[in-house]
Amino acid sequence: MSLNDIPIMAALTQRMKWLNQNQTVISQNIANADTPGYKPSALTPQDFSALVESVSRSSAGMAIAPVKPVEIAPIGGDLSTPAFGQSEASARETSQNGNAVVLEEEMMKLADNQMQYAMITNLYKKNVSLLKAAMGKSRS
């Protein structure tokens, strides 16, 4: 049994992969801040309800009751877009050479992505610690 067989660990791993890809996209935008005609890219937000549904399906054979997401009005985006999709970001301003990267916005996105990655990493570590404690292993 691997850690990814545990639904919460699989969800955390998938979130970490999305954040890693998001870091790459943001880094490409920053690297091309001076490239004439460059249009910034952005990943579509992860679909949380699909993530919960996939975790619930994977835990259906276990003794854990599957989680049923409740549909609510989306806040700040369309939840039906596929995870890990990449599209052209909507830019507010374009420079004279046609570049649409706003460096300040990209740096804010980068900082937010780093904070989210640190949070997910800490959650992952805490879950591993809980599993070790449940198995009677020492914390090292």
Which pLDDT does position 90 carry in this prediction?
61
Could you list the beta-strand ranges (E) of the chain.
41-43, 86-88
Model pTM score: 0.69
**Could you give phi then psi for residue 42, rounded to 5 degrees?**
-150, 145
Per-residue pLDDT tens digits for 77-100: 443 433 466 666 665 677 778 888
Question: In the chain, pLDDT over 70 holds for what percent of residues?
Answer: 69
Which pLDDT does position 91 carry in this prediction?
52
Which pLDDT does position 30 carry in this prediction?
93
Per-residue pLDDT tens digits for 91-131: 567 777 888 899 999 999 999 999 999 999 999 999 999 98
